[in-house]
Amino acid sequence: MFYREAGQFKASYAADQSIFPIAQDRFGVLVILAVAFVFVPLVANEYWLRSILTPFLIFSLAALGLNILTGYAGQLSLGTAGFMAVGAFAAYNLQIRIPEIPFILDFVLAGLIAAAVGILFGLPSLRIKGFYLAVATLAAQFFLEWLFTRVGWFTNYSSSGVITAPPMVMFGFEFSGAQSRYLLTLSIVAVLALAAKNMVRSEIGRAWMAVRDMDVAAEVIGIRLLHTKLLAFAVSSFYCGIAGALWAYVYLGTVEPQAFDIFRSFEILFMIIIGGLGSILGSFLGAAFIVLLPIVLNNVSSIFAGGTLSAHTLSHLELVIFGSLIIFFLIVEPAGLARLWQIAKEKFRLWPFPY
């Protein structure tokens, strides 16, 4: 199987603009989907499905959301986890207050509520840019965290401040096993990833990138800046909101506002830096990286240090490695893992004659 585009001439612009113009890519994506939907649930054990793959998918979704806002539209946000919290608490409140709504619809509504909150906190982007805006998103982060901690209504006056997600039932089927939950998450993430890919290769995606690259010029070609930025905030928060709802319902089951603190926001920011700003694929690669790193680290340390390292030391080591990697990536390849993959592909495309 060679990775070649020679001989694949595009006969129409439609073909040239299709989502994966090169046949091997198209094929590759289908294979990945098939593996993810069929093979993985068959072979992966409960631990992998529940504790690694499901959170990986949810993180990917949040990273996608942040990447739309920061990577594509260029609006730096430090409030991602705040918008995830909105999704989680909205889904919870919808479900316990209006139990008639099917939970899938709850998720969508939760996403929409998160989008509305995103728009609200995106409003300052009309007047402020860059770091100033980043600080404004911190306002969202801390305010939302406070809101869900302090205002009892949101947790249905639970004394511990913890909410427990009701069971997810659809057509009489309860999503309780690791397998069904994984598949549910995978389906949602796959659909939303496809939608994101479509948006970024359409007019709206170009408008976002135009605003990111040069806002004055963008306005001169007719882009309404506020409208475009707010749409980025809305779509981004929609994705993050659904990720938050999944985090609460599918992954944790019980959740407190502190699960969505500022460090979670940073974690997701790291994913898109490492994976690649402005790349859909990068969101997945970055999420995989950050989910897997602690596990790899743990295993490596138990092999070399024979389990003598304390949990504390390990977590500090993790910080040091994260920090170094971020700097390393910014220096060596600011475009992240996705770019490395692309370079590898280009090499492969020319192989074995590199000239």
Partner 1 sequence: MAFDWLFFLEVLIAGLLSGAMYSLVALGFVLIFKASGVFNFAQGAMVLLAALTFVRLVEMGAPLWLAGVSTLMVMVVLAMLVERLVLRQLVNQAPIILFMASIGLNFFIEGTAQGVWDSDVHALDLGVPDLPIDVFGMLISQFDIFAAAMVAALVVVLAVFFQKTRIGRALRAVADDHQAALSVGIPLQTIWVVVWSVAGVVALVAGLVWGSKLGVQFSISLVALKALPVLILGGFTSVPGAIIGGLIIGAGEKLAEVFIGPFVGGAIESWFPYMLAMVFLLFRPQGLFGEKIIERV
Partner 2 sequence: MSQAHKKIGDIMLKVEDISLSFGGVRALSGVSFDVREHEILAIIGPNGAGKSSMLNVINGVYHPQEGAITYKGSTRKQMRPHQAAKQGIARTFQNIALFKGMSTLDNIMTGRLLKMRRNFLWQALYWGPAQKEEIENRMVCEKIIDFLEIQAIRKTPVGRLPYGLQKRVELGRALAMEPDLLLLDEPMAGMNVEEKEDMCRFVLDVNDEFGTTIALIEHDMGVVMDISDRVMVLDYGRKIADGSPDEVRADQEVIDAYLGVSH
User: Which residues partner with 254 through β-bridges?
Assistant: 164
Hey, which residues between 168 and 197 contact partner 2 (CB under 8 A)? 195-196
Q: Is 313 in the site for partner 1 (CB under 8 A)?
A: yes
The candidate with the shortest Cα–Cα distance to 186, out of 235, 250, 241, is 250
The number of residues making up the chain comes to: 355
The single residue among 5, 8, 19, 316 that binds partner 2, judged by CB under 8 A, is: 19
- DSSP per residue over 264-327, as a string? HHHHHHHHHHHH-TT-HHHHHHHHHHHHHHHHHHHHHHHHHSTT-S-HHHHHHHHHHHHHHHHH
- In the complex, least distance from residue 151 CB atom to partner 2, rounded to whole angstroms: 33
Residue with the two structure tokens 């694929």: 281
Hey, which residues between 256 and 285 contact partner 2 (CB under 8 A)? 278
In single-letter form, the type of residue at position 235 comes to: V
Q: Is 340 in the site for partner 1 (CB under 8 A)?
A: no
Q: From the CA atom positions of the chain, what is the Rg in Å? A: 21
The single residue among 46, 174, 213, 346 that binds partner 2, judged by CB under 8 A, is: 213
* Among partner 1, partner 2, none, residue 19 binds (CB under 5-8 Å by kind): partner 2
Q: How many CB atoms lie within 10 A of CB 87?
A: 34
The single residue among 69, 235, 252, 291 that binds partner 2, judged by CB under 8 A, is: 235
Both tokens of 293, joined, read: 């790193």
Cα gap 211→268, rounded to integer Å = 22
Q: Is 4 in the site for partner 2 (CB under 8 A)?
A: no
Cα gap 219→265, rounded to integer Å = 30
Q: Is 206 in the site for partner 2 (CB under 8 A)?
A: yes
In the DSSP assignment, the letter for residue 328 is H
- In the complex, least distance from residue 216 CB atom to partner 2, rounded to whole angstroms: 7
The single residue among 81, 136, 232, 268 that binds partner 1, judged by CB under 8 A, is: 136
Positions that interact with partner 2 (CB under 8 A): 12-14, 17, 19, 195-196, 198-199, 201-207, 209-210, 212-214, 216-225, 231, 235, 278
Positions that interact with partner 1 (CB under 8 A): 76, 124, 127-128, 130-132, 134-136, 138-139, 142-143, 145-146, 149-151, 216-217, 262, 266, 269-270, 273, 312-313, 316-327, 330-331, 334
